Amino acid sequence: MALRRALKQPLLNAVARLPDSVQRAMFMPPVRRVCIRVPLLRAVYSGCLRRHPIDLQYGTDTSGLVDATILQRDASLVGQLRPYMGSQPTIIRRALDTLGDISGYTFVDVGCGKGRPMIVASEYPFSLALGYDISADLVRTANANAVVLARRFPQRPPIRALHANVADLKVPSGNVVVFLFNPFGPELMASLLEKLETSLASGAIQHLFVVYDNPVCGSVFDGSLHLKRWFAGVFPYDHDEVGFGPEDHESVVIWQSLRGARADTHSDRNRRIAIKDRLSASLSG
């Protein structure tokens, strides 16, 4: 097992450097059907290693897969972290579209990685797209991507990524949209919720949306006395995104704060969303 873990990240890095033509060949059904049965190769077929269409479109680097042991060397934290992989732009857009008018809100991606959700968020009238991540290397990549976007789209909201863990994270004031793509486990999620609740209670946050893609720890937010459900549903990948992630759909649950709450518009917001951590499970072995 230790040898397998030691070999996994170098293998993933090597596959990620293969030409697109070779990677496409690896995903041909006859090849995939055989190789996905090999534990060491299972992560390859998460699809995250392939250069995502959004990177081809913008000239950014948000693709790839980084194991939790690379994100953080502190053994006490590694067990709480989830591997880095980029969420699908279509899922982010469809989730943000449920919110209505978010002009002037601050978008905050907790566990931002290379910054793909912030790139998508810059398409919307946020005042700022802000990201936090525990990996300094991923934060550097996210800020490099921000430079690329600013040059191409100077009229878009600014993007900024900061190196911080949950304990050091500073929650912006005003109206805020927090985005999560299953970045860590329930203990850290509860710590994040406590920070958000403190800011809501003090009035620093006037209105809050929490958008949780693949909400494995959604029960943490369901238990909050400061939040209520806004939306719950399942979104399919766009056809161009299929094969660039371990699924072809993702569940999303969104909460809003009782402070500044908007009128409920989604009748099925309290539906039960059955979630297993398939994204991380697909990388095990």
> In this predicted structure, what is the pLDDT of residue 276?
63
Read off the pLDDT of each residue in 219-244 and give the average, rounded to a whole number. 93
Q: What is the pLDDT of residue 246?
A: 75
Q: Which CATH class is domain 1-285?
A: alpha beta
pLDDT at position 50 over 70: yes
Instruction: Read off the pLDDT of residues 183-212 as tens digits, 9 standing for 90 and up.
Output: 888 899 999 999 999 999 999 999 999 999
Strand pairing class (128-133; 174-181): unpaired
Instruction: Specify whether the backbone of 10 is left (phi greater than 0), alpha (psi in -120 to 50) or beta.
Output: alpha
- Ranges of each domain in the chain: 1-285
> Mean pLDDT score of the chain, rounded to an integer?
84
Of all residues in the chain, the percent with pLDDT exceeding 70 is: 74
pLDDT at 281: 46
pLDDT at position 252: 95
**pTM of the full structure:** 0.82
Question: Tell me, what's the pLDDT at 2?
Answer: 47
* pLDDT of 283: 46
